[in-house]
């Protein structure tokens, strides 16, 4: 087997390899205006170092995002623990004007004690604030959305305003791209961006521990494809160890493994994808993408042994270019 350098499969936290509990838990999301006047990434790391210790003591799991000059925090755990944490953060001078945009009891999504992300602004702070207030007002009227939908509405919104995006949530096709080698998934996404003249959105995620390296994740929206739109998300291989990947894995209709000529490498990355899906009890379609000679019976059998569907997007005998990759992949995606 060929080792994949700097691709941790486990952050070594005690619960890193555990499954998400099926027991209902408290869930709360708030948004607040950032008052941080130092580099945001440095501040997020300081918050992480403090939070992972205290949150675990209280049985809490937290995701924190910075975007457009705002913080958004998603908290899951015992309701009393959430209440105590909210009381503490409301006194924190690093933010102000805290607005609750979701509060409920239900099935948990967060997989690790702490998740941090910085999202590239795709709108003005004023536009972001209007979406915060729209979600806050829906919460006050007891007409809020599920926490994952609320988080996406603020951190990686679908095209259109809040109501339009929410209406498309259930039918918007989400597809993860992951390459068995190097940066093939990101390369394909950026090529597709140039071809379609659609922008690429950049995100950066921080792990819950020092050995969980920061990772990039880019996405592109193709609103005129699939039934009501398609989002392609390029993930780094080491992103499979990140809590945010696990939190949103249940929303993917397909995971695309961009194959390499080395069979052992393909099998190794596929095994990690299958393991992540089993941990969150989700069975997306798995699509192998590559030249004919890169496929093997073991890829199909390993996938189907886990009860998941295997599809093959074949590009012919030679190493494919980006146009050939996209043509083969779209034929499969359009059939899902």
Q: Are residue 159 and residue 181 in the same domain, yes or no?
A: no
Does 246 map to a domain? yes
Between 226 and 114, the higher pLDDT residue? 226
Question: What pLDDT digit, counting tens, does each position of 17-49 carry?
Answer: 445 556 789 999 999 999 888 777 777 778 877
Over residues 5-12, mean pLDDT: 36
Rounded CA separation 233/249 (Å)? 11
Q: Output the domain CATH number for residue 77.
A: 3.30.70.100
Question: What pLDDT digit, counting tens, does each position of 203-247 carry?
Answer: 887 766 554 557 889 999 999 999 889 999 999 998 887 777 888
Rounded CA separation 274/295 (Å)? 17
Q: What is the pLDDT of residue 42?
A: 76
Question: What pLDDT digit, counting tens, does each position of 151-176 carry?
Answer: 988 888 887 666 656 666 777 899 99
Q: Are residue 182 and residue 329 in the same domain, yes or no?
A: yes
Q: Output the domain CATH number for residue 215.
A: 3.40.50.300
The answer to whether residue 254 scores a pLDDT higher than 50 is yes
Does 11 map to a domain? no
Tokens, residue 189: 């996404």
Tell me if residue 90 falls in helix, strand or coil: coil
Between 137 and 13, the higher pLDDT residue? 137
**Cα four-point dihedral sign 336, 220, 282, 71:** negative
Phi-psi region of 77 (alpha: psi -120 to 50; beta: other; left: phi over 0): left
Q: Are residue 72 and residue 144 in the same domain, yes or no?
A: yes
- Count of domains observed in the chain: 2
The last residue of a domain, from among 120, 153, 169: 169
Q: Are residue 233 and residue 299 in the same domain, yes or no?
A: yes
When the pLDDT of each residue in the chain is averaged and rounded to a whole number, the result is 85
Question: What pLDDT digit, counting tens, does each position of 264-290 carry?
Answer: 999 999 999 999 888 878 889 999 999
Does 263 map to a domain? yes
Q: Which domain holds residue 277?
A: 172-333
The last residue of a domain, from among 169, 197, 228: 169
Q: Are residue 208 and residue 319 in the same domain, yes or no?
A: yes
Tokens, residue 31: 């948004």
Does 6 map to a domain? no
By DSSP bridging, strand 254-258 and strand 173-179 are parallel
The answer to whether residue 112 scores a pLDDT higher than 90 is no
Q: Are residue 306 and residue 191 in the same domain, yes or no?
A: yes
User: From the centroid of its chain, how far is CA 109?
Assistant: 11
pLDDT level of residue 7 (50, 70, 90 thresholds)? very low
The last residue of a domain, from among 136, 169, 202: 169
pLDDT level of residue 183 (50, 70, 90 thresholds)? very high
């Amino acid at each position: 087997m060929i080792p994949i350098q700097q691709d941790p499969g486990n952050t070594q936290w005690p619960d890193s390899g555990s499954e998400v509990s099926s027991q209902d838990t408290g869930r709360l999301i708030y948004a607040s205006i950032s008052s941080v006047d130092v580099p945001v990434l440095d501040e997020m790391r300081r918050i992480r170092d403090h939070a992972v210790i205290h949150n675990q003591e209280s049985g809490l799991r937290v995701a924190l995002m910075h975007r457009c000059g705002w913080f958004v925090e998603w908290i899951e755990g015992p309701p009393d623990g959430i209440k105590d944490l909210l009381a503490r953060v409301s006194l924190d001078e690093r933010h102000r004007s805290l607005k609750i945009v979701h509060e409920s009891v239900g099935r948990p999504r967060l997989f690790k004690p702490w998740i941090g992300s910085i999202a590239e602004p795709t709108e003005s702070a004023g536009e972001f604030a209007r979406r915060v207030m729209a979600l806050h007002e829906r919460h006050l009227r007891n007409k809020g959305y599920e926490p994952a939908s609320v988080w996406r509405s603020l951190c990686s919104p679908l095209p259109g305003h809040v109501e339009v995006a929410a209406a498309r949530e259930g039918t918007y096709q989400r597809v993860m791209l992951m390459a068995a080698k190097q940066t093939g998934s990101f390369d394909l996404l950026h090529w597709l961006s140039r071809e379609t003249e659609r922008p690429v959105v950049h995100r950066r995620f921080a792990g819950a521990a020092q050995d969980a390296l920061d990772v990039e994740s880019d996405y592109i929206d193709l609103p005129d494809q699939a039934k009501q739109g398609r989002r392609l998300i390029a993930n780094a291989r080491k992103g499979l160890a990140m809590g945010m990947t696990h939190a949103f894995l249940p929303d993917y209709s397909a995971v695309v493994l961009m194959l390499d000529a080395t069979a052992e490498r393909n099998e190794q990355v596929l095994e990690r994808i299958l393991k992540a899906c089993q941990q969150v009890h989700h069975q997306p379609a798995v699509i192998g993408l590559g030249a004919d000679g890169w496929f093997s019976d073991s890829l199909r059998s390993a996938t189907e042994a886990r009860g998941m569907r295997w599809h093959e997007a074949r590009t012919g005998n030679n190493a494919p270019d980006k146009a050939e990759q996209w043509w083969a992949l779209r034929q499969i995606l359009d059939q899902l």
